[in-house]
Structure 1
Amino acid sequence: MKPVVPLILTFSALFSSVSFAEVSYRIDLTDSQHHLAKVVVDFPQSANQHLKINLPVWRTGKYQVLPLADGIRYFSAEDETGNALPFKHTASGEWTIELEKPTSVSVTYQLYANQLGQRVGHIDATHAFLDASGTFVYSPEFKQQPISVALAVPDSWKSYSGMDAGELPNSFTANNYDVLVDSPIETGISHHRSFSADRRDYELVVWGEGNYDIEQMVTDLTKLSGQASTIWDGYPFERYVYMVHATSGASGATEHLNSTVIQRPRFSYRERKDYLGFIKTASHEFIHTWNVKAYRPAGLVPYDYQKENISDLLWIAEGSTSYFQSQLLLRAGVITAKEFFEDLAKRIVQSKNTPGREVQSVREASSSKWSSTGGDYAINHSANIYSEGYLTSLALDFSLLNDTDLEHSYRDVHQALYAQYQIPAGYSVSDVKQILKDLSGEDYQPWWQAHVDTPMSLDFSDLLDNAGLRLSYGDDSKAQAYSGVTLSGRSLKLGEVLRNGPAWNAGIVLGDEIVAINGLKVTAKGYEARIKDFTPGTEIVVSLFSDDRLKEVTLKLGEKQSGKLKLLSVKKPSRSQKAFFKAWLGIDWPFDKKGKLKDHS
């Protein structure tokens, strides 16, 4: 890195002609190959004795405290005449600057941004992804002031954001820091497309090379973006930006105010199953533009960037978003009925194989999300706000459809939340219950107690029968043995031991490494096939290393069905079942008279 003072002088000269808003950010990305940048922030005059400067300790969309300030070095502050101001690092993500007299303040620091997978900032020779939570400090004193952001970038780079463009190239403006922190910037060498849907403007920006078909992405994103009116009356944006990172070593996505960033392995687009992963993610994040960004639980309003924001309604914020994502794609014709059914069946199987759903309610899972670390303990003792929140939303949707004779569905709940509790309002549990009562005329407290406040147990066969669907492993399915463990990678070390499963009951624990069954060596590749050699109920002797000690354990094998769980038509669907199906998913009955899907997919 060049010496600090010369770089600051050069950097200041680069932007000497810029007309700044009351809080201005300038970031130099012209020497980016080592993931480094220089940031200057100009704050208006403060009459206080101290000016507090913060960097968030978490980013929106990830309910976890992160060490974001670890990427800041060479922090310094100057008054309006260029004199250095003393400061102290007073907390994680906090600096306190001492002021002897009223003055404007200029803060300078070096930024290291190499957290692509965390989606808080990544800078290299080809691009920079800048999420304000990991990039731009703020002062609580001036948090609501107008903001400008100016970037110095290589000549070949172009910059995109959900923020309004500034007067100069590679510059943006925002009404306040809350808008800035929810409007990431993608700048660099990328592919760009513009399109429109339902009188709204959209952009697709793809950084990185891979096996994606950008024209196919535009076609499907256009179809998806036109489906918002099936849930909500109106839009919280005029323009929306889909940012895609086709990369290596990072995956996931994050919703923002009127944009999203989606990360996928660069060669995970060509195969249909891989492409479905991308388009479902895009749908999920698009739905978040309403559910979380336009309205969200009261515990998250307003965002407090310096501590955890606790809510017991995250299952609605996340699980309901997961619930709607494939529905929008189905209505848009982007996915088939078969693909929708496969996704739902997979979620049902996942729930049945998660013992934690019997221990923790979605309410408790929501409020404890900030302290959840995942792993073996979580799958055995925790519910997941995404997957179990999806199924809770499914149950609530079916309950509303039945209670209102198909007049109202769970979509109407979210339209009501959007209409009544847009930011800066926030909704509570009692608000949701009131909406349910207004729609159905029923008191939903008993339902809430049974499905939200306590661990939920659903009879999926009875539930899906409402829509003329049944669950089946296939006519040739049979009972087969299983041990109740998941291997860790390609080794025989155990990554999961399911609570109350065969291995659990035999005293086998996480981290044990299996080496033989009935005295014969077993490999990771052949483990599952070896278990299937036995019949359910058979006792086998498992040789394993536990804490480096060799021991033998007698394990009585359990039972599971072979084959893949599928959703099929009931043998003679009634007119009312078909009507329920149409009210639920918005498409016509997809099966022919023989019970086969009409699309033949």
Structure 2
Amino acid sequence: MEQKLTAFLPLSLFLSASAFAGVDYHIDLSSPTHHLAKVEVRFPKVEAGDFPVNLPVWRTGKYQVLPLADGVRAFQATDASGNALPWRRSASGEWVLSLPAASEVTVSYQLYADELGLRTRHIDATHAYLDASSVFMYSPHFRDEELSVSLKVPDGWQSYSGMNKGDGAHRFVAPNYDVLVDSPIETGVSHHRSFSSAERDYELVVWGEGNYDLDKMVTDLTKLGNQASAIWDGFPFERYVYMVHATSGARGATEHLNSTVIQLPRFMFRERKDYLRFISTASHEFIHTWNVKAYRPAGLVPYDYQQEGLTSLLWIAEGSTSYFQHQLLARAGVITAKELLEDIAGRIERHQQTPGREIQSVAEASLGEWVAQGGDYAHNHSVNIYSEGYMASLALDMAILSDTKLKHSYRDVHRALYRDFAVPKSYRVEDVKGILTQLTGKDYGPWWQSHIDSPMALDFDELLSRAGLKLVYGKDDSDNKTKVYPGFTLASGSLKLQTLDRGGKAWEAGLVAGNELVAINGLKVTADGFDKRLADFKAGDSINVTYFADDSLKQTALVLGERPEGKAALKPLNKVSDKQKAFFKAWLGIDWPFDKKGEFKKS
């Protein structure tokens, strides 16, 4: 239907950017306090008839349909003479204009941006973070055309992006919409550093105050950049931007074509465990610049911004990235061998405590990522592409190392993917299998069937022994201590059951997620006192549990189980050969870190 014009001044009236032949974007951020902006998009000459304009329904790096168009209001369209064009809404992310004659077209709309944690769009009095997928509309007819983005911002703001600068401090240019949609903009009041690594230029932009150390961040990010050659021959970028948000609670990160955004609560940078979270995330997103940006599976090439892109290989895109992130940091000397092995041990422990690993394959998890919800059902019947993809990568790496007598590793698979299948190409399952055959001379079809297309059953004792290691709990395997385990976990700060282990004692007792505990053996139990109360019993004891289920008070007998006490750790075997030490170095890229007593060597 035809829409009446409202008081929405074209930004071209107050922006002085020179005329641009491609698609011209303008965004007015001059009154950011209430999270609002005005966006204008000018398209070159459009032929008469229907002309679709879209806002993506998902953003790259987040494989989930999102309600991005809900932040759009006051949509209007005009021709070159300023005449209103009729339009209709044809889908959640699509507006179709009707042109009686060929003309340039200008689309404008109000944008609401108060979403930070999903890293789509956020505008306030101090900054704006703009992921184009949730900010700038496009037309399929002009997706491949060059474009310009101009920002009108408050005094004192600085603007940064992985895109090239145009004329002026707040203007960027890109060869097409695909580059724009993968090159977020950070503008506002921020801290900035420039540095170089391996003949590439980098920028670090930090918005928000916190307990971070910019100099340390730059030092370690420089070391990280020098390690790219451990996996790939060459870089897919000349300049890369690390955007960091020190937030009031939001956390997470997203990779992009030439940049990343990393979010952590503002006082979670100084302590070593917190800093490791930051720098490992930075490594993860840096690796993504190759793995999933420079090369990615069929189904994601080209991106279809209006619907899901299915692939059974998301485990390579995400899980392999997780697999490499700590290895590069250890090679760079940013983290210690002890910290690297602690991370591997923790991941193995979480894998072993996930019943869903017996039910779902990592290929199926990849295909289901777009609708994955998490929770108790997922815990018992699913795996996730990050953690299970990590385990698949570990198993595949060790298989390649063994089959080639340490001549090749999983790194060579990714080197070949970048070399032979870089976008606009894409890779399929058969392409990965083909690379494996080229490297090893073996048919990896049976391995793929048992590890990727079927739920994995990994023998960690055998795998780790190749590198002279064993998995223990506590200080060493002679400890062999256990603790009481009820077969469920509680929601944080609550007595509500969050997950139960399928087939465990709590499962068999009829307890389900959402039940709320009230008493044990007739005595009240509290959230902060639950673990201490549980310690009054031993494995095999039967306790009487009182709980609410759908507001009804119920009781059941629960036989307590057990779990190893202490965190999982990787320790050296009692006797380690030179061959095993060589395997360790070929695997992780660092020297054998233990002394003759089995303790970590002092640096």
Which range, TM-score by smaller chain? over 0.9
| Structure 2 counterpart of 1:521, from 520, 524, 528 | 524
TM alignment of 1:125-524, pairs within 5 A: 125-473=125-473, 474=476, 475-524=478-527
CA distance in 1 between counterparts of 2:430 and 2:48 reads: 41
- The residue type paired with residue 479 of structure 1 is T
Shift of 1:249: 2.6
- The residue type paired with residue 481 of structure 1 is V
Shift of 1:4: 7.9
Aligned to 2:9: 8
Aligned to 1:546: 549
CA distance in 1 between counterparts of 2:539 and 2:181 reads: 55
Aligned to 2:598: 595
Aligned to 1:577: 580
**Identity, % of aligned positions:** 64
- The residue type paired with residue 321 of structure 1 is T
CA distance in 2 between counterparts of 1:99 and 1:86 reads: 8
- The residue type paired with residue 269 of structure 2 is Y
Shift of 1:7: 4.7
TM-score, normalized by length of structure 2?
Answer: 0.98
Alignment partner of 1:58 is 2:58 = yes
Contact 1:497–1:504 (CA<8 Å) still a contact in 2?
yes
Alignment partner of 1:46 is 2:46 = yes
Contact 2:113–2:121 (CA<8 Å) still a contact in 1?
yes
Contact 1:497–1:509 (CA<8 Å) still a contact in 2?
yes
Contact 1:482–1:532 (CA<8 Å) still a contact in 2?
no
- The residue type paired with residue 564 of structure 2 is Q
- The residue type paired with residue 200 of structure 2 is R
Secondary structure in 2 matching 1:300: coil
Residue-by-residue CA offset, 1:371-401 (whole Å, 9 max, x unaligned) = 1111111111101100010011000000000
Q: Structure 1 residues 361-370 or 530-539, which shifts more? A: 530-539
Alignment partner of 1:568 is 2:575 = no
Secondary structure in 2 matching 1:298: coil
Secondary structure in 2 matching 1:202: strand
Residue-by-residue CA offset, 1:111-153 (whole Å, 9 max, x unaligned) = 0011111111000000000000000000001110000000001
Aligned to 1:26: 26
Secondary structure in 1 matching 2:305: coil
What is the aligned length? 597
Aligned to 2:102: 102
Shift of 1:16: 4.0
Secondary structure in 1 matching 2:309: coil
- The residue type paired with residue 333 of structure 1 is G
Q: Which runs of 5+ in 2 are unaligned?
A: none
CA distance in 1 between counterparts of 2:239 and 2:599 reads: 41
Q: Structure 1 residues 294-303 or 486-495, which shifts more? A: 486-495
- The residue type paired with residue 478 of structure 1 is K
Say what the alpha-carbon RMSD is for the aligned residues.
1.2
- The residue type paired with residue 595 of structure 1 is G
CA distance in 2 between counterparts of 1:370 and 1:476 reads: 43
Aligned to 2:540: 537
Q: Structure 1 residues 333-342 or 483-492, which shifts more? A: 483-492
CA distance in 1 between counterparts of 2:588 and 2:441 reads: 23
Contact 1:57–1:65 (CA<8 Å) still a contact in 2?
yes
Contact 1:241–1:259 (CA<8 Å) still a contact in 2?
yes
- State the 4+ residue runs in structure 1 displaced beyond 4 angstroms: 3-7
Q: Which runs of 5+ in 1 are unaligned?
A: none
CA distance in 2 between counterparts of 1:347 and 1:491 reads: 26
CA distance in 2 between counterparts of 1:400 and 1:48 reads: 58
Residue-by-residue CA offset, 1:297-336 (whole Å, 9 max, x unaligned) = 0111100000000000000000000000000000000000
CA distance in 2 between counterparts of 1:515 and 1:34 reads: 44
Contact 2:158–2:170 (CA<8 Å) still a contact in 1?
yes
Q: Structure 1 residues 373-382 or 279-288, which shifts more? A: 373-382
TM-score, normalized by length of structure 1?
Answer: 0.98
CA distance in 2 between counterparts of 1:526 and 1:225 reads: 47
Contact 2:24–2:42 (CA<8 Å) still a contact in 1?
yes
